[in-house]
């Protein structure tokens, strides 16, 4: 990846950054809660993601400016995560993709079934 605007396909690097395996799920939970969410709550809301992968995903989202992390000192210390305003600009994109998925998901599944049937014949 040479940079956000330096590739032949201008959205390729952005797709890699924004559509990692758990990126949309984490941002969706943070957006739905509309506020700050603790790590344990994210784990409860996303039970299929391991703590290690969730931690890595949150670090990547923070690095990309999509998630803010607030550390509250105390015993025990408390850390909260929230979607940034930049992440909020992605909600219409995710909504459009969800609409596309609802409208065309069946077609994709049919194409996969046809392909798989032809390959196994």
User: In this structure, what token pair is assigned to residue 110?
Assistant: 């049919």
* Domain extent at residue 56: 1-86
Does the pLDDT value for residue 14 go beyond 90? no
State whether 74 and 94 are in the same domain: no
State whether 73 and 29 are in the same domain: yes
Does the pLDDT value for residue 35 go beyond 90? no
How far apart are alpha carbons 8 and 69 in whole angstroms? 34
Tens of pLDDT, residues 59-105: 999 999 999 999 999 888 899 999 999 998 988 888 898 899 999 99
Number of domains in the chain: 2
State whether 104 and 53 are in the same domain: no
Full DSSP string of 38-75: EHHHHHHH-TTS-HHHHHHHHHHHHHTTSEEEEEE-SS
Per-residue confidence (pLDDT) for residue 10, from 0 to 100: 78
State whether 19 and 64 are in the same domain: yes
State whether 27 and 64 are in the same domain: yes
State whether 39 and 11 are in the same domain: yes
Q: What pTM was computed for the model?
A: 0.77
């Amino acid at each position: 990846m040479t940079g956000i605007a330096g590739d032949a396909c201008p959205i390729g690097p952005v797709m890699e950054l924004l559509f990692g395996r758990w990126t949309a799920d984490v941002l969706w939970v943070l957006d739905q809660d509309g506020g700050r969410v603790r790590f344990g709550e994210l784990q409860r809301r996303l039970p299929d993601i391991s703590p290690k992968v969730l931690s890595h995903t949150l670090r990547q989202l923070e690095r990309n400016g999509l998630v803010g992390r607030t550390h509250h000192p105390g015993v025990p210390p408390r850390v909260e995560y929230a979607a940034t305003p930049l992440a909020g600009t992605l909600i219409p994109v995710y909504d459009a993709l969800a609409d596309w998925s609802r409208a065309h998901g069946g077609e994709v599944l049919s194409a996969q079934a046809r392909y798989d049937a032809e390959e196994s014949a």
